[in-house]
Amino acid sequence: MTSFKRVFSRHAIAALALGCTTLASAAELRIGFVNTDRIFKEAATAKAAQSKLEQEFSRREREVEGLGTQLKSASEKLEKDAPTLSDSQRGARQRQLVELDREFQRKRREFQEDLAQRKNEELQLVLERANRVIKQVAESEKYDLIMQEAVYVNPKLDITDKVLSGLNNAK
């Protein structure tokens, strides 16, 4: 039992020494944080991407909105005219309304899917550029670790402004 205590004691001391060494090394570790939400909102490249998407999808958005307005007015007209229509006329108008609703739902879904896909593509390009700038900042300022996601970050570790500046100055 005595040799077990000695061996255990030696390992405990070694672990404690290793822990102290690790803590000392951690004190020298240089860490930074980048807020990607701010990058996506404030970077000139992100704003340009948003503008590009708005321009690219504005016509389709107006078409979908127009179809929605057409559907609403057709529905209101059917409600208003329903008492004076024959059963066959009312049935035909309801079928037309159902068909118009299907077309509206399909076009709206396609529009939303296409917009989401293009938005992801554009944001990916912004993120790739931001990551290049982050790497440049990390290398030039000798950071050991740059994080983009965290539950809590001390504001003194936040280098988002440096990254935004680098992104906005890069052409």
Residue 142: which CATH number? Answer: 3.30.910.20
What total of structural domains would you count in the chain? 1
- 51, amino acid identity: S
Which residues, given as ranges, of the chain have pLDDT below 70? 1-27, 171
Structural domain includes residue 21? no
Domain span at 88: 31-169
Residues 6+ apart with CB under 8 A from 59: none
Q: What is the model's pLDDT at position 68?
A: 95
Q: What is the model's pLDDT at position 136?
A: 95
Q: What is the model's pLDDT at position 12?
A: 46
Q: What is the model's pLDDT at position 42?
A: 94
